[in-house]
Structure 1
Amino acid sequence: MQAMIFAAGLGTRLKPLTDTRPKALVSVAGRTLLEHTVSRLKKAGAGRIVVNVYHFASQITGFLEENNNFGLDIRVSDETAALLDTGGGIKKAIPLFLPSLPILIHNVDILSNVDLGAFYAGNMANEATLLVSGRVTTRYLLFDDDMRLVGWTNTATGEVRSPYGGDVVCRAHRYAFSGIHMLSPRLFPLFSEFPDKFGIIDFYLGVCDKVEIKGFFMDDLELMDVGKIETLGEAENFALTIDKTV
Structure 2
Amino acid sequence: MRAMILAAGKGERMRPLTLTTPKPLISVAGVPLIEYHLRALARAGFKEVVINHAWLGEKIEAHLGTGEQFGLNIQYSVESQPLETGGGIYQALKYLGDAPFVLVNGDIWTDYDFSALRKPLTGLAHLVLMDNPEHHVEGDFSLQQEQVSLPQAGNSLTYSGIAVLHPQLFADCVGGAFRLAPLLRQAIARGQVSGEHFTGHWIDVGTQERLAAAEALLASL
TM bracket (short chain): 0.7 to 0.9
- Alignment partner, residue 112 of structure 1: 110
Matched residues, number: 219
Q: Match for 2:183: what amino acid?
A: F
Q: Match for 1:132: what amino acid?
A: L
Gaps of 5+ in 1: 153-168
Determine which of 112, 128, 132 is the counterpart of 2:129. 132
Instruction: Give 3-state SS (helix, strand or coil) of 1:5's partner.
Output: strand
In 2, Cα distance between the equivalents of 1:122 and 1:216?
13
Determine which of 208, 211, 234 is the counterpart of 2:188. 208
Please state if 1:185 is matched with 2:182: no
- Is residue 111–residue 239 contact of structure 1 (8 Å, CA) maintained in 2? no
Structure 1 pair 104–144 and aligned structure 2 pair: CA distance change class (3 A): closer
In 2, Cα distance between the equivalents of 1:62 and 1:175?
37
Q: Match for 2:128: what amino acid?
A: L
- Larger Rg: 1 or 2? 1
In 2, Cα distance between the equivalents of 1:85 and 1:28?
25
TM-fit CA distance, 1:241: 5.3
- Alignment partner, residue 151 of structure 1: 150
Q: Between 228-237 and 5-14, report the one with greater CA deviation.
A: 228-237
- Is residue 143–residue 215 contact of structure 1 (8 Å, CA) maintained in 2? no
Please state if 1:95 is matched with 2:75: no
If the length of structure 1 is used for normalisation, what is the TM-score? Answer: 0.79
- Is residue 128–residue 197 contact of structure 2 (8 Å, CA) maintained in 1? yes
Instruction: Give 3-state SS (helix, strand or coil) of 1:141's partner.
Output: coil
Structure 1 pair 107–68 and aligned structure 2 pair: CA distance change class (3 A): same
- Is residue 127–residue 211 contact of structure 1 (8 Å, CA) maintained in 2? no
In 2, Cα distance between the equivalents of 1:226 and 1:66?
25
Structure 1 pair 67–186 and aligned structure 2 pair: CA distance change class (3 A): closer
Q: Match for 1:45: what amino acid?
A: G
In 1, Cα distance between the equivalents of 2:70 and 2:143?
40
Q: Between 173-182 and 68-77, report the one with greater CA deviation.
A: 68-77
TM-fit CA distance, 1:133: 2.1
- Is residue 133–residue 177 contact of structure 1 (8 Å, CA) maintained in 2? yes
- Is residue 106–residue 181 contact of structure 1 (8 Å, CA) maintained in 2? yes
Q: Between 69-78 and 59-68, report the one with greater CA deviation.
A: 59-68
Q: Match for 2:216: what amino acid?
A: N
Q: Match for 2:140: what amino acid?
A: L
In 2, Cα distance between the equivalents of 1:149 and 1:125?
12
Structure 1 pair 210–42 and aligned structure 2 pair: CA distance change class (3 A): same
Gaps of 5+ in 2: none
- Alignment partner, residue 177 of structure 2: 197
The percent identity for this pair of structures is 30
In 1, Cα distance between the equivalents of 2:188 and 2:173?
13
- Alignment partner, residue 62 of structure 2: 62
In 1, Cα distance between the equivalents of 2:200 and 2:65?
33
TM-fit CA distance, 1:227: 1.6
Q: Match for 1:213: what amino acid?
A: V
